[in-house]
Amino acid sequence: MLPQELFGRTGHLSTRVLFGAASLGGMRQQKADEVLDIVLQSGINHIDTAASYGDSELRLQPFLADHRDEFFLATKTDARTGDAARAQLELSLQRLGVDHVDLIQLHNLVEPQEWEIAHAPDGAVAALVQAREEGLVKFIGVTGHGTRIPQMHLRSLERFDFDSVLLPYNYLMMQNEQYSADTEELLALCAERDVAVQTIKSAARRRWSEDSAEPHFSWYQALPAGDALTRGVNFVLGRPGLFLNTSSDARLLPAIIAAASGPLQVPTDIEMQSDVEANEMQPLFDGKELERI
C-alpha cells in the first residue's frame, strides 16, 4: 500500500507518490487509458498535469468523467500575465472536462523578469487569486527546474503565500553543496508554513547522449527498473514531508509504485554512490550550460 500524508495545508491526504501526467502527453487515448488504469489500481489519489504537457489534459478527460471525486487534481499555467493565465486556466478546465481544479501552479517560475511580471498587480498570481475566489481553483502553487529554483521559491514565498512548491530532488542534486543548502532552507520554511513540497527527477540517470538510439520517452534518460531505481524512490520518500512525482517515462510507473509500496528502506550514501558509479549517472542541471531545459 502506498504511504499517504497530508498535502500541506490543503487538508487532502495524498499518496506520497503523485501521478506525473506529463507521461500522457504524446499518447493515444487507448494507451493513456491503460496507464490510468494502473494509476487507479495502485491507489494513487493525486494527479499532476500541465497545460503545456501536450495532450495530457485531453487524455485525462474521459478518466476524470468517471473518477474526478477520487483524485486531487493539479494543473499548471506557464503564462505570466493575468489575462493569459486566466485564459489558459479556463482552457485547461475545458480540456480536463471539470469545473475546477484543486491546485493551479505557476509553471517553472525561475527567470527574474518573468517573476516580476507574474507578481505584478495585473500578473498571473493576482489572476489566479481571483480564480480561487470564484471557485475555479482551491489552492495555488509554484514549480521550477534547475539549480536556482530553491532560492526562487524562497523569493516567491516572501511575496505570496503559495500552498505548494515543486523542485528537483534526488541524490545527485543534493550533492551540490549550494543546491543542498538552498533546498534545506526552503524545506525548513515550507515545514514552518505547512507548504506542500513536491519533487521531480527521482528516476533521473543523466541527459541523453547525442548518439543515443533508444526511444526517448522523457527529455532525460531515466534509470531502468531495478534496485537503483528503488533506492532513488526510497531516497526521496525517506525524507518526511516530500511527495514524489512519477516519471514522464510511463514504462517506469509500475516499478516506481512497487518501490514506494514496499517497506521503506532508506539507502545509505555508500549505496547511492555505488548506483551513481554503476549507472554512470550525471546531474541534469549544473548551474551553467546544463541549467535550462
Which CATH number covers residue 35? 3.20.20.100
What's residue 287's pLDDT? Answer: 78
Q: How far apart are CA 142 and CA 77, in angstroms?
A: 10
Per-residue pLDDT averaged across 182-191, rounded? Answer: 98
R_g (Cα) of the chain, nearest Å: 18
What's residue 231's pLDDT? Answer: 98
In a domain, 182, yes or no: yes
- Count the Cβ atoms, other than its own, within 10 Å of residue 156: 22
- Res 171: pLDDT: 97
Q: How many structural domains does the chain have?
A: 1
Domain membership flag for residue 292 = no
Tens-digit pLDDT profile for residues 10-25: 999 999 999 999 999 9
Q: What is the pLDDT of residue 91?
A: 98
For 4-62, the pLDDT digits (tens) are 999 999 999 999 999 999 999 999 999 999 999 999 999 999 999 999 999 999 999 99
Residue 11 lies in a domain: yes
| Structural domain boundaries, residue 239 | 4-278
Please indicate, yes or no, if residue 291 is contained in any of the structural domains: no
Is residue 283, in this structure, part of any structural domain at all? no
Distance CA 279, CA 227 (A): 11
Percentage of residues in the chain with pLDDT exceeding 70?
Answer: 99
Indicate whether 284 belongs to any domain. no
Per the domain annotation, does 285 fall within a domain?
no
CA distance 57 to 160: 27
Res 293 pLDDT > 90: no
Burial class (CB in 10 A: 0-12, 13-18, 19+), 211: exposed
If DSSP codes are grouped into helix, strand and coil, which group holds residue 238?
Answer: coil
Task: Render pLDDT for 194-245 as a digit per residue (tens, 0 to 9).
Answer: 999 999 999 999 999 887 878 888 889 999 999 999 999 999 999 999 999 9
Q: Could you tell me which residues come within 8 angstroms of residue 276 by beta carbon, excluding any fewer than 6 positions away? A: 171, 172
